[in-house]
Structure 1
Amino acid sequence: MISSIIRVSENRCDLLVDKSGRTVAKIDLSNTLLSSNLATGFLRAIAALHGHSTVKSQVATLYRLRYFVSFLEKSGLSSRESLPNDVMHEFHRWLCKTHLMNTTQRAIQNEVLAVLRWCHRNFSRIVALDMDFKVPEISLNKDSISHRKRLDEIFVKQVLAICYQKIEAIEIRILYGRALLERSDLSEEDQKISYIFKSLLRVGSGLVPQIDDINRPGIKLLGLVRNTGGLKRYRKLFAICLEDILPFYLVVLIQSAGNAASIISMDRDSIRQHPLRDDLEFLDWNKLKVRREQRVDFPKDKHWSAPNVLRKLIQLNENLCSLAESSEQSKAFLALGSISQVAAVPSRQTLHNALADFISESHLSDFDFADWRHTNAELHFKKTGNVKVSQQRLNHQSVKTTSRYISSKEFSETEYRALHWFQGSLEKKARGTSPDKELHKEISGKGRQETVFGFSCRDPFSGLDGITESGQRCLSFTKCCTCPGAVITLDDVHVIARILSAKTTLEKAKNSADIEGWGARFQALYADTLLTINNSILPFVPESVVVKARDLAMRYPTLELE
């Protein structure tokens, strides 16, 4: 879960404070020339519009708003109590003259529009009542859009192989350090190292001390430590260090296709059992930007699967939880600081520094953390030819969003509609009215069967769901809504009655899930089906059929979903 942040307002500045009382960021307008009225209104707007989002997002909002503040200061408007009705048009012209990229200009303008619209509704004394918000949109051209790298499969395997080697070396090192402290059957050399190691921990009250702590009268450890590798060696035997986190992080990031900032904030309890299959497990985490749960499944028996790599890390850094601040004790990617005795999740800059060293030492081509999400989308699409596979891997709600991550195909609006949610066939009864008679001949054979939510299936043994092997009976009974083998006869009253019965069952289950606390399970198993029925099927059913089907729907038994 995302840690709670408290907002404390003081002197034209909002402090973002975590549970331990530490100020993690400032939304600060105290060093500007804004009037008290304008500063108060802008801060309230940021809190209302973005207070639910991450600290990083709120700081980014302030960064964009500061361009508007700069414009107001240069235009002599910052000291005013209320802004004129044409201020957005003037700002638009000013912004277009800057050397910022078009994408940045658009983001800034949209942010300022959102802030002023909120103020117009809720803090109206700082904007003109007849404020004109209809400013020209800043257009984007191809040159202004930055393109992420799509790394090829060979490179992906190369990076993962290097990470696996480094993880094995880290695991051997930490387990060796624990053996020095716990075992008595040590070699003569290891007994010497064990004596020094235990002595250091006594001086440091359970931690490896600093150099000043052992360079004191009466403590004869300095020479021994220097002759056996120095304090850094003993710190690395004691705990996972900041530079150790990178290979674990890269493996989870690459395999999960998650957002870089969200993955590094993953909790220690992120590994979950699959609700239906004993051979699978999930990684669950929150996408920080939108605070929405993300989920990817993995086979349990793969030694280097992301959940198993995360397990290794959690076991290796378990001694650091008590050394972290309360807001980070539940985090998976904890490491001991290089100087301080506090455990923490590595900062963004620390990770980038470690990545630069990793690339240099391994003689790899340059890449960035954000490249892996695009790479996942591209590789999954190339393998399957189905953008839905990429969409599910990236946990996108819209296939249109996913298409932006894929460079190998441009999607038209027609393709979006064809790919969105329901990939099966919507048809009429086979009375010669169908545009594809061969289709009806195919689905009218013994292969066609009914499914639990009212969908018909061309052939449950065909492997059309993309998961089940051809020849085996499909068990993906909650995925019919996205399967190309699904068929809905729109003018068959009995078919639509079963669809309406399923809709009622799903809506009741959703209400129960919200009340009883299993909403995440409902989203994972049933939400797609309900959305497909409401958005992609029922709008195309003739009203006369719906009326007759409603009466008939009550005769069909409803499922108990949990």
Structure 2
Amino acid sequence: MVVNFLDPDGRAENCFDFSVHKRAPQVAAEIALAFRYHHAGHSPATRVGDFHALRKWFAFLDAHEPGIGSMSDVDTAVLRAFITFLDAKSWAKSTRHSAWSVVKQMVGWLKRNRPDLVASDLEIPFNAFPRKNAETPPRAVLSRSEIEAVLAAARKDIEASWDAFRMGQSLLSMVDRRHIAQERDLKRLDLDDLGVMLAIIVEQYGGLVPRQSVMLERGANRSRLHFATLRHGGSPKLTGHLHMMPETLIPYMIAIGAQTYANPEALRELRRDCMSEHLLLDGRSVIRWSKGRSNRVQRRSFLRDKTLSVPNLIDRVLQMTSPLLAHVPAQDRERLFVVETVYGSRTVSLIPPYLMSKHVRLFAQRHGLTDDSGQPLSLTLASLRATGLTLAHEALGHDILKTQALANHATPDTTQRYIDRPIVRRAQQRIVGSLQAQFVDLVRGANSADDERSDALAIDASHATAGGFICKDPFSGVGEGQKSGRLCTAWLGCFTCPNAVIPLDADVLGRLLSTRDALVAARQTLAPDRWRLLYAPKLEILENDILSRFSPELHLVASMKTAPALPLIE
């Protein structure tokens, strides 16, 4: 019972063996079926996490329900017993909810798509772990001064490593690399020349500084290379001139993570082709990356106007890691952050998570970074996302929907968990208080006179027409139920208004005729009492006092024009 997932190119992406659950093989087969189809469009990281979470379900069956032979034996009582089993664990509520959610998804898929495999009366418990995130502690966030100190330290390291790399490239360009590649007798080469030393490493060792055991191997005649390495500052010093190392890579990851707000794992797995030029805006590049638990591509655009903007940093990383690509395994060759590590054995691969965390701590210690209380700063890559979103939320006027769009979250609730800080809550309280004060002023009429004057200035009164009339002063308030200073809203009130002006031309007559036809037609659709009360007097005035003032010639011209559309009379 093996479930395989392939990537778009047909290569194996995930492989899950459900036969490990030997005590309930039929249950494992049915869960594997649901797992295969439910996760068909999900990310590899989501599949791996859910597969591991399913172990808790099978552990529960083995310990408490050994008699269950298939999913049709699972009823609502068994699901509730599983919830009780999870509740007995000392895990956080969010962890217990995650374990239950995975099982609920599998059972739900079977119930919808293969009802023959589950009990007919099965009911899935609702909201088994209410307010699952209420007990979750807030994410660690750096203050503005702390993140500025971190970025200043990263900038210092970035410039130093870039200068060392460019120096190495310059020295390599000034030596005869072809001659050095062919010369095997080190006595004939000037090993005190740094350019010659770097060329030996590149041409004879593939760009990787040979290990001490290789240089001192008996009979290899490479001891001169070992002592020359020591004279030039040791292997780390030489490596810095040739390619990226973990300690030089981390400052770039910090600077990029602080600007993109990417999750640590998503940042680690950035691809070498993650950057493209913006199609519409010159000088701006779009950075794309994948998020482990999301199928949506994350993207942000950045200008290239600053030395340490994200596009420029990625360009540098591409150059400083390109010498390593020949040694990188195929599965990591498309990744951006590849490094050489030497712990027992030498490997060149995507930087592993443990090494990433270790060098972030060493980075903070090396620069003596402290928090606002003077204690050593607890810096993690995960804190960069929460810090960036909190500061961005402040810059966006504490608009959570804008911050949600920036974070690319599915719901505002997720964004709220990132930005829910005392300082943010105080700012939100100030904004709410300001809005409430404005509302109170509006109710009390403190600014009503100013508002009315501004309304009058903002509206073009020359278009205040209705039913063929033109008003001399639509702000005079002489109409029934109208107020001085406000635009008249009395639809069809012009029939009895002293401000009404009726030009004797064909266009005005055409609108008046349309108004008459609409009033006549309304008599057939409106309640008789309503029509007699509201519209009969207006129709009488229109037919007896107004239309008779137009000449027969104007009536003929108006009848040949297209009748204008009028608002619905109701």
* Class of the TM-score when normalised by the shorter of the 2 chains: 0.5 to 0.7
Q: Deviations over 1:456-487 (max 9, x none)?
A: xxxxxxxxxxxxxxxxxxxxxxxxxxxxxxxx
Is 1:96–2:84 an aligned residue pair? no
Tell me, in whole angstroms, the C-alpha distance in 2 between the residues paired with 1:166 and 1:206.
Answer: 22
Match of 1:355 in 2: 360
Tell me, in whole angstroms, the C-alpha distance in 2 between the residues paired with 1:33 and 1:318.
Answer: 47
Match of 1:111 in 2: 102
Distance change >3 Å, CA 142–CA 395, structure 1 → 2:
closer
SS of corresponding position for 1:283: strand
Match of 2:379 in 1: 367
Match of 1:58 in 2: 47
Q: Deviations over 1:15-55 (max 9, x none)?
A: 66889999876534433344222112222322322243333
Tell me, in whole angstroms, the C-alpha distance in 2 between the residues paired with 1:232 and 1:24.
Answer: 36
Shift of 1:409: 3.1
Tell me, in whole angstroms, the C-alpha distance in 2 between the residues paired with 1:328 and 1:441.
Answer: 68
Tell me, in whole angstroms, the C-alpha distance in 1 between the residues paired with 2:43 and 2:368.
Answer: 35
Shift of 1:231: 4.0
* Residues 19 and 326, structure 1, Cα contact 8 Å, conserved in 2: no
Q: Deviations over 1:228-272 (max 9, x none)?
A: 334444444332123322111111111111222222222223333
Tell me, in whole angstroms, the C-alpha distance in 2 between the residues paired with 1:268 and 1:443.
Answer: 56
Tell me the TM-score normalized by structure 2: 0.64
Which residue, out of 333, 351, 361, partners 1:346? 351
* Residues 34 and 79, structure 1, Cα contact 8 Å, conserved in 2: no
* Residues 361 and 379, structure 2, Cα contact 8 Å, conserved in 1: no
Q: Deviations over 1:483-532 (max 9, x none)?
A: xxxxxxxxxxxxxxxxxxxxxxxxxxxxxxxxxxxxxxxxxxxxxxxxxx
Tell me, in whole angstroms, the C-alpha distance in 2 between the residues paired with 1:333 and 1:227.
Answer: 30
Paired residue total: 420
Letter in 2 for 1:84: V
Tell me, in whole angstroms, the C-alpha distance in 1 between the residues paired with 2:452 and 2:41.
Answer: 51
Shift of 1:410: 9.5
Which residue, out of 362, 373, 390, partners 2:403? 390
* Residues 242 and 338, structure 1, Cα contact 8 Å, conserved in 2: no
Which residue, out of 9, 14, 26, partners 1:37? 26
Is 1:262–2:266 an aligned residue pair? yes
Letter in 2 for 1:376: G
Distance change >3 Å, CA 244–CA 443, structure 1 → 2:
farther
Tell me, in whole angstroms, the C-alpha distance in 1 between the residues paired with 2:248 and 2:225.
Answer: 26
Shift of 1:440: 8.0
Is 1:306–2:310 an aligned residue pair? yes
Match of 1:380 in 2: 392
Distance change >3 Å, CA 190–CA 297, structure 1 → 2:
farther
Letter in 2 for 1:241: M
SS of corresponding position for 2:342: coil
1:391-430 matches, within 5 Å, as: 391-407=404-420, 408-409=424-425
Is 1:84–2:100 an aligned residue pair? no
Tell me, in whole angstroms, the C-alpha distance in 2 between the residues paired with 1:262 and 1:436.
Answer: 53
* Residues 262 and 288, structure 1, Cα contact 8 Å, conserved in 2: yes
CA RMSD of aligned residues (A): 3.8
Q: Which runs of 5+ in 2 are unaligned?
A: 178-188, 370-376, 433-446, 461-563, 566-570
Which residue, out of 288, 294, 298, partners 2:298? 294
SS of corresponding position for 2:302: strand
Shift of 1:377: 2.0
Match of 1:161 in 2: 152
Report the identity percentage. 20
* Residues 215 and 225, structure 2, Cα contact 8 Å, conserved in 1: no
Match of 1:46 in 2: 35
Match of 1:70 in 2: 59
Match of 2:511 in 1: none
SS of corresponding position for 1:245: helix
Shift of 1:133: 0.8
Letter in 2 for 1:370: A
Distance change >3 Å, CA 195–CA 142, structure 1 → 2:
closer
Which residue, out of 128, 135, 152, partners 1:144? 135
Distance change >3 Å, CA 436–CA 47, structure 1 → 2:
farther
* Residues 270 and 285, structure 1, Cα contact 8 Å, conserved in 2: yes
Q: Deviations over 1:412-441 (max 9, x none)?
A: 9xx99xxxxxxxxxxxxxxxxxx9997786
Tell me, in whole angstroms, the C-alpha distance in 1 between the residues paired with 2:6 and 2:329.
Answer: 13
Q: Which runs of 5+ in 1 are unaligned?
A: 1-11, 417-434, 449-550, 553-562
Letter in 1 for 2:38: L
Match of 1:559 in 2: none
Distance change >3 Å, CA 184–CA 201, structure 1 → 2:
closer
* Residues 64 and 111, structure 1, Cα contact 8 Å, conserved in 2: yes
SS of corresponding position for 1:170: helix
1:218-233 matches, within 5 Å, as: 218-229=219-230, 230-233=234-237
Tell me, in whole angstroms, the C-alpha distance in 2 between the residues paired with 1:108 and 1:436.
Answer: 58
Higher helix share: 2
Tell me, in whole angstroms, the C-alpha distance in 2 between the residues paired with 1:336 and 1:228.
Answer: 18
